[in-house]
């Protein structure tokens, strides 16, 4: 628990930097990092860019997999997760573009695209550290309430609450928010060797309480991390209001 968003960002970014540096990634043995979008990781990405510019961190041998992407939103749309990731992180660091993996929400065959993504994660030997954020309803990636805790990467219809929450990025017009997304599954995240989740703000307090103080529950999919052997939640004081 840290006091506020900045402290949370400071903690998680130092953590990620140390994990990558201690791993000593090479071309043959890259560090495989799972990444989220949304407002939660913006401070983290800002700090990672700073560490890169200071010469404290290189992404030369880091391979990334993003959690999710909207279906049907053009890749260069300002709110696509492709745009988000390049804008906030990738264009500022020394990552090889071929090491960036983001689901293609415009693929001709969406199921095949999801299967390809899963296979790529498997072929590289799995994710070392998956960082996530959550929705106020406790979803991780786009694993909306009711998602199977065994789920894999797939097409998901967005919950009304998510469409409403994300409309802030689409001129507050829910009609502009895509109705579907591609998302890694809860099972995909759980298979990673470590999971770290950023949870900030009073609007996520109920979700945090459900996540760690109640049973594992498919209506609050982030609660699955209770079953993970190496899981970390970095939250601010506001998010602890219901604990």
Distance CA 124, CA 40 (A): 27
- Burial readout 57-67 (b: 16 or more C-beta within 10 A, e: otherwise): bebebbbbbbb
- Choices 5-13, 102-110, 127-135, 210-218; region in contact with ligand GLP by CB under 6 A: 127-135
Adjacent-strand bridge partners of 66: 35
Q: Is the distance from CB of 90 to CB of 59 less than 8 angstroms?
A: no
Q: Which is nearer to ligand GLP, 102 or 134 (CB)?
A: 134
Tell me if 147 contacts ligand GLP by CB under 6 A. Answer: no
Q: Contacting ligand GLP (CB under 6 A), which of 57, 121, 134, 225?
A: 134
Of 35, 44, 49, 68, the residue at the interface with ligand GLP (CB under 6 A) is 68
- SS3 category, 222: helix
Q: Which stretch binds ligand GLP (CB under 6 A): 17-25, 134-142, 146-154, 171-179?
A: 134-142
Q: Which one of the listed residues 52, 61, 68, 118 is annotated catalytic?
A: 68
User: What's the residue count for the chain?
Assistant: 243
Among 110, 142, 151, 210, binds ligand GLP (CB under 6 A): 142
CB 94 within 8 A of CB 55: no
Q: Which residues bind ligand GLP (CB under 6 A)?
A: 36-40, 67-68, 133-135, 141-142, 162, 166
């Amino acid at each position: 628990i840290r006091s506020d968003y900045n402290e949370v960002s400071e903690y998680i970014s130092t953590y990620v930097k140390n994990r990558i540096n201690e791993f000593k990634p090479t071309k043959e043995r890259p560090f495989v990092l799972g990444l989220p979008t949304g407002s939660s990781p913006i401070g983290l990405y800002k700090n990672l860019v700073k560490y890169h510019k200071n010469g404290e961190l290189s992404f030369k041998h880091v391979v990334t997999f993003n959690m999710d992407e909207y279906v049907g939103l053009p890749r260069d749309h300002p709110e696509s997760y492709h745009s988000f990731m390049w804008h906030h992180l990738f264009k500022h660091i020394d990552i090889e573009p071929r090491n960036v993996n983001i689901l293609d929400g415009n693929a001709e065959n969406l199921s095949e695209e999801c299967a390809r993504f899963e296979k790529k994660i498997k072929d590289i030997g799995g994710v070392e550290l998956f960082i996530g954020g959550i929705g106020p309803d406790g979803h991780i990636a786009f694993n909306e309430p009711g998602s199977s805790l065994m789920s894999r990467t797939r097409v998901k219809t967005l919950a009304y609450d998510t469409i409403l929450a994300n409309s802030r990025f689409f001129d507050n017009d829910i009609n502009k928010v895509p109705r579907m997304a591609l998302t890694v599954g809860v099972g995909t995240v759980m298979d990673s060797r470590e999971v770290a989740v950023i949870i900030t703000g009073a609007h996520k307090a109920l979700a945090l309480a459900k996540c760690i103080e109640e049973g594992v529950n498919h209506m609050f999919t982030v609660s699955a991390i209770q079953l993970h052997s190496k899981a970390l939640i970095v939250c601010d004081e506001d998010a602890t209001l219901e604990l």
